[in-house]
Structure 1
Amino acid sequence: MSIVEFPEHNVGPKWKGERVGYFRDAAGYARYRDAYRAGFELLPAPKETVDVPTDRGTVRAYRFGSGSGTPLVLLPGRQSATPLWVSNLPGLLALGRPVITIDLLGEPGASVQSAPIADGREQADWLAAALLALEPGPVHLLGVSIGGWSAVNLAVHHPDRVASLAILDSPFVFGGVSPKMIVVSLGSVLPGMPESWRDTLLSWISGGARTPRDSPEGRLIASGMRDFAAFLPMTKKPDRQQLSALGKPFLGIFAGRSIVHRANRIAARARKLLPAARIEVWPEASHAINGEFPDRIATRVGEFLTEIDG
């Protein structure tokens, strides 16, 4: 069992005009904190908990495992944080390298935003600063959903911080998003939405699961959608030149049943733009791919990293 301490957070309507992420009220903050702690208690015990100061806020990171080699850094999806990786950490730690998880700045979690983030470059800047404080050299990155975009965005603006990129059903890298995903995105920021509607949105994300909030990850995301207000810049897809110039080992896995995009179409674009990349479509997976196939993901990521590091 792992116990996590929460920092002093942005809570209440006084933050509404500051253009930083905040919890809408004390009750919502308590609800999210309880969901976070409940999920975190299911994780392996971290070796280290670090709060890294940056010019956009304080970034919470956890270091797991004591293996050697280049660390693998995990970046979660929107409305989520480190407990999202409850199914994945055991298999990834078995690869024998350190694993670092980061709560994205401006999203609900244990990172606390203190200044507005204007654009994609500033999103990359805070992440690069945090990684430099955690590790002197480049790291391997594994991101799910918007975490994958965050990894690619970092590689575009700070390639020196990146050893390789692995993304799981990530939007805004090789294409936009579907109308259903737009509805989910809007629903995630509308206060006062009926819980039954929120359950429907969660069900869409998780490929039709009828009770997604029964899982620790589902409760975490449900509270993030309900209780947290984010003020982040519009997510922009890298242009062709930026993608073609990445020059990093790249693994892209897309979910055949995803609500985010048409996986086969996105995979075709990815192969055209990055002919050396490993691009795969898993037909049976939904956008909740990391929780559905943790062992398969660990095996595939392990193979990918072995190709790079030997």
Structure 2
Amino acid sequence: MTQHIRSRRVLRRAGLVVVAVLAVVGLVAAYQFFFGAPGVGHFRSADGRDSYVAAYERAMSTLPTPSEVHDVPTRFGTVRVYEWTSPRTADSVPVVLVPGRASGVPMWGENLPGFLPEHRVLAFDALGDAGLSVQAAPLTSTDDQALWIDDVLSGLGVETAHVVGHSFGGASAASYAKQFPEKVRSLTLLEPVFTFGYPPARMLFWASVSTLPGLPTSWRDTALAKVGGVDDYDSDDAMAAMISEGSQHFSAALPTPSPLSDDELRALAIPTYVAIAERDSLVGGEKAAARARQLADAEVLVFPDTTHSLPMQAKDRLNSELPEFWRGSEQD
């Protein structure tokens, strides 16, 4: 009994040490995340890139086979784009998918089956983030994010599109819609961070920790689980393994977005679908939903029993509702 109590005390002290260390490294990461000078995203080593690419290819193998793969030059670097099209969808308004942080194209694996039957789909890895896009110049603001997205779509001959973004991709999608409203047929924002408000401090902490190089795998998995809003982070899952490899081996260089002002929200008159998680939202939950309702033409929904991993957790509902939303926006 005495030995058991002593063991528990040792474990408790060890736990406190872990928390203390994470607090320190989290503060360092947060400082670099928000105040570091603009740079160019890159892999920390050739071996690290090889390890990431192997995990990336494994995750991509779970998706429907793309019709085409493009490497599109932009003013900030070359963007890897995957296209799914068929004779039936070739002339449709394309759906453009902007991924969340460290997620790349593979994050859409659960949603593509619902999107492909009616639309040409274009999905890309974000510049400055883990993936197969290659950044060549610093991104100094969210406006720059919108510029390279426009370069990609112009390079592919896309005149108008249904733009969908998750997490940081939601902030980039909103910025693109703000700068190029004439090119956006509809806007879909899934747990869009830094769009209607700032994420909770605890989530910023865990997001910062998850990107630290040299972090023990178990600690990184804990941080990623906290960000994703899941109890356990299954590092054997293809998608989870890819995110873990990217967090470990890629040094991202992304500008921190600023929430849209009230005037900017009211001026965005594009048909918009907003989905916010009920639990552990990085967006701000009901408070963010209230701000989102200032949009001129928006359907704002809080999804029950979901977290920041909403696109995967609510795939059946999204795969049903979004094609219907897109059809409606094309009739406006």
TM value normalised by structure 1: 0.90
Inter-partner Cα distance in structure 2 for 1:239 and 1:181: 22
Deviation (angstroms), 1:206: 3.0
Query: What percent of counterpart residues are identical?
Result: 37
Q: Match for residue 92 of structure 1?
A: 115
Deviation at 1:275, TM superposition (A): 4.8
Q: 1:185-210 CA distances to partner (integer Å, 9 max, x unpaired)? A: 21133211111111111212332231
* Partner residue in 2 for 1:25: 45
Larger CA deviation: 123-132 vs 179-188: 179-188
In the comparison of the two structures, how many residue pairs are matched?
292
One-letter amino acid of the counterpart of residue 240, structure 1: D
Q: Which runs of 5+ in 1 are unaligned?
A: 1-16
Q: Aligned partners of 1:26, 1:186: CA distance in 2, in Å?
A: 23
Task: State how far apart, in whole Å, the 2-side matches of 1:158 and 1:209 are.
Answer: 39
| SS of alignment partner, residue 307 of structure 1 | helix
Q: Which amino acid aligns with 1:252?
A: V
Give 2:238's aligned residue: 216
CA deviation map 1:116-144 (0-9, x unaligned)? 11112212111111111113311101111
Q: Which residue type is aligned with residue 28 of structure 1?
A: G
Q: How far did residue 18 of structure 1 move?
A: 8.7
- 1:28-43 to structure 2, matched below 5 A, reads 28-43=48-63
Query: 2: distance between equivalents of 1:163 and 1:117?
Result: 26
- Paired residues of 1:256 and 1:282 also in contact (CA < 8 A): yes
Q: 1:137 aligns with which of 140, 143, 159?
A: 159
**TM, length-normalised to structure 2:** 0.84
Instruction: Give the alignment of 1:57-136 within 5 angstroms.
Output: 57-66=77-86, 67=89, 68-94=91-117, 96-136=118-158
Is residue 180 from structure 1 mapped to residue 202 from structure 2 by the alignment? yes
CA displacement at 1:20 relative to structure 2: 0.4
* Residues 1-310 of structure 1 aligned to structure 2 (within 5 Å): 19-66=39-86, 67=89, 68-94=91-117, 96-271=118-293, 273-310=294-331
Deviation per residue, 1:222-258 (Å, 9 max, x gap): 1111111012222222222222211110000001013
User: Whole-Å Cα distance in 2 between the matches of residues 267 and 259 of structure 1?
Assistant: 11
Structure ranking higher in helix proportion: 2
- Which residue number in structure 2 is paired with residue 5 of structure 1? none
Moved more, 204-213 or 32-41: 204-213
Q: CA deviation at 1:216?
A: 1.8
Distance 1:257 1:293 in 2: 13
Change (3 A) 1:91 1:209: farther
Shift of 1:259: 4.0
Looking at structure 2, the residues matched to 232 and 211 of structure 1 have their Cα atoms a distance apart, in angstroms, of: 25
The CA RMSD over aligned residues, in Å, is 1.6
Q: For structure 2, list consecutive stretches of 5 or more residues without a partner in the other structure.
A: 1-36
Task: State whether residues 199 and 211 of structure 1, in contact with CA within 8 Å, keep that contact through their aligned partners in structure 2.
Answer: yes
